[in-house]
Amino acid sequence: MQNANTILSMLNQKSQNDEHYVFQRIYRNLYNREFYVNAYARIQSKEGNMTEGVDNRTIDGFKYEMIDTLIEKLKTEQYYPKPVRRTYIPKKNGKTRPLGIPCFEDKLLQEVIRQLLESIYEPIFSDNSHGFRPDRSCHTALCQIKNTMRGANWVIEGDITGCFDNIDHTILLNILSQKIEDGRFIELIRRFLKAGYLEFKQMHRSLSGCPQGGIISPILSNIYLNEFDRYMDEIINKNTKGKKRRSNPEYQRLRGKRYTAIKKGNLEEIKRLTKEIQSIPSLDPMDSNFTRVKYVRYADDFVIEVIGSKEMAESIKEDVATFLKEKLNLELNQEKTLITNLGNEKANFLGYEFTKAHCNTKMGKDKQGNRKRSVNGQIQLLVPHKVISQKIREFTQYGESCVFKPRLKLPVLDIINEYNAEIRGLYNYYCLATNVSQRLYKFKYYHYFSMLHTIARKENISVKKVIKKYGIDVPVKDGTGTRRIVGVKYHTKKGEKTMTYFNDRIVKKDFPEAKVYDSFGYDISFNSQLITRLNANKCELCGSTENIEVHHVRKLKDIKDKYKKRGRHIPNWVLIMSKMNRKTLIVCKDCHWDIHGGK
């Protein structure tokens, strides 16, 4: 059979060269064993694979025979996905989100289907779509807003009611059939959609929606909402009028008066008129012959920015609601879908606030060297005040620092590491915001002292003694001296290292550092060593070459700590995994039974 990556490349190229190309005989690629090996290598490191599905099995015990059995079922079209096990995860607003956990065999097949669908559809997806796509993220969506929506007057903050739970299966399968003429492949996807879910030991049918938690759900939702993206392209073309705004008559009148004052040498009049000219726009903001519409979507969240009148924004909102209802059977939440005036208010998208900047005094130069106001009309991304206030409340109570009790059981090194992960994660997400320094330095103050109180409570000493015991002098970034900050020195194979509380400069970034991806958006740094070890067909404990499978653990550290806390001798298999620093171990069936039997 052909190499899996070669097949994906061919599918991708055909779709790229001809947007209307119809694919056939896709189902036969599911017989290719290499697809499943690659799929296993890509998903094996995720902790969710150690969560049991409805068959009470996990990724632990994977072996090549599982792939062969799966392919035989597909050849005879006897493969039926199992229901997902439904659980609920908390949302920021206090509500819960349903999550469907497939069994591992279904995950493996879904990853193969995802690869095929992504290679076909990725070239024809809209540039305005950013969710669940290679080389795209929340940050790329926010950067598009910042870079392309300058001068917008109105913003429509879109909210679709229960988008993923209300995707119409019939409409989705019809959309897939337009691009893929393969009945068996479409039928397999239909079986995944109709597999149902198990909740409180009771089976429920799936009448609509893509279960959140499934590997193919993101790509299927993007295929579904790509119809909306294409409709928005029509809206954009329809409402694009004029090449440039007309001049503001008042601005031109004042310029004429200033020119006269210059000729007369009246300095006071020149200063007064210059200040007045800089306070009004040079172009007519109400020019009805110049209109623009911009659109950005991330998953089911979208914003539409309008350069035009409020009536135009309201009309677009109504058109969008009608299209979603009639064509995609989705409901636009009229209460949460707001029309915001960017000149006076702030809009919200993906946890950021954004507004239109105004500065009549900051001057720059255009390409011709003429002085101009360089800031007016630019979009500014901001960290919302309520986000930081809510985060700070997690660390303070009645004016005193709170202690997260679960952390008291951790070593000081791990406590510092967890606090660092929290503030670094917050900074990495909000690094695009203009006010990130102002907001996060305030958060950092409370966060740091929360860590000090946690260590003090753990060791039953005062905060002052914590600083004296663990304080480390580190150089200030500007090179003006040193400052004392709490940290720990620890030993590794490469020598002594130091970990201190987060000490990086908090500054605004134009764009965060991107990960490296291959042509289909997969992280090329994924661990292919596991497949090499598996292909060696040798037990890493006893050397046997029969009945080889893979032993998986959720976290290697948890396994070591379990034996240490119980005061038990750490077994040989744990020492071998620790030495390799891997969460997997290639073992024979007998050794695997002994591991789980505690022998």
CA angle 375, 378, 383 (to 5 degrees): 110
- Place 360 in a pLDDT band, splitting at 50, 70 and 90: low
Which residues does residue 492 pair with via DSSP β-bridges, in sequence order?
A: 495
- Return the closest-CA partner of residue 102 out of 167, 195, 172: 195
Whether the per-residue pLDDT at 224 is higher than 50: the answer is yes
Alpha carbon separation from 289 to 64, 232, 233, 239, 240 (Å, rounded):
65, 21, 20, 10, 9
CB 40 within 8 A of CB 108: yes
CA angle 96, 100, 101 (to 5 degrees): 125
Q: According to the model, what pLDDT value does residue 199 have?
A: 81
CB atoms within 10 A of CB 64: 17
CB 477 within 8 A of CB 505: yes
Which residues does residue 338 pair with via DSSP β-bridges, in sequence order?
A: 157
- Place 361 in a pLDDT band, splitting at 50, 70 and 90: low
Percent of the chain whose pLDDT exceeds 90: 40
Whether the per-residue pLDDT at 392 is higher than 70: the answer is yes
Whether the per-residue pLDDT at 413 is higher than 50: the answer is yes
Alpha carbon separation from 72 to 54, 75, 79, 171, 451 (Å, rounded):
22, 5, 9, 30, 56
Helix (H) or strand (E) holding 379: strand 379-382
- Return the closest-CA partner of residue 150 out of 344, 358, 390, 300: 358
Whether the per-residue pLDDT at 263 is higher than 50: the answer is yes
Tokens of 328: 């995609």
Percent of the chain whose pLDDT exceeds 70: 89
- Place 411 in a pLDDT band, splitting at 50, 70 and 90: confident
- Return the closest-CA partner of residue 349 out of 340, 358, 359, 360: 340
Q: What is the pLDDT of residues 126-185, one digit of tens each?
A: 999 998 998 899 999 999 998 888 878 899 999 888 888 889 999 999 999 999 999 999
- Place 519 in a pLDDT band, splitting at 50, 70 and 90: very low
Higher pLDDT, 285 or 228: 228
Whether the per-residue pLDDT at 524 is higher than 50: the answer is no
What does DSSP say about strands 400-401 and 301-307: parallel, antiparallel, or unpaired?
A: unpaired
CB 347 within 8 A of CB 313: no
Among 287-291, 437-441, 535-539, where is mean pLDDT lowest? 287-291
What does DSSP say about strands 292-298 and 202-204: parallel, antiparallel, or unpaired?
A: unpaired
Amino acid (one-letter) located at 173? L
Whether the per-residue pLDDT at 227 is higher than 90: the answer is yes
Tokens of 413: 């090194």
**Integer Cα distance of 416 and 173 in angstroms:** 50
Helix (H, G, I), strand (E, B) or coil at 564: helix
CB 183 within 8 A of CB 132: no
**Integer Cα distance of 501 and 520 in angstroms:** 37
- Place 521 in a pLDDT band, splitting at 50, 70 and 90: very low
- Mean pLDDT, rounded, of the chain: 85
Q: According to the model, what pLDDT value does residue 520 have?
A: 41
Higher pLDDT, 369 or 329: 329
Amino acid (one-letter) located at 27? Y
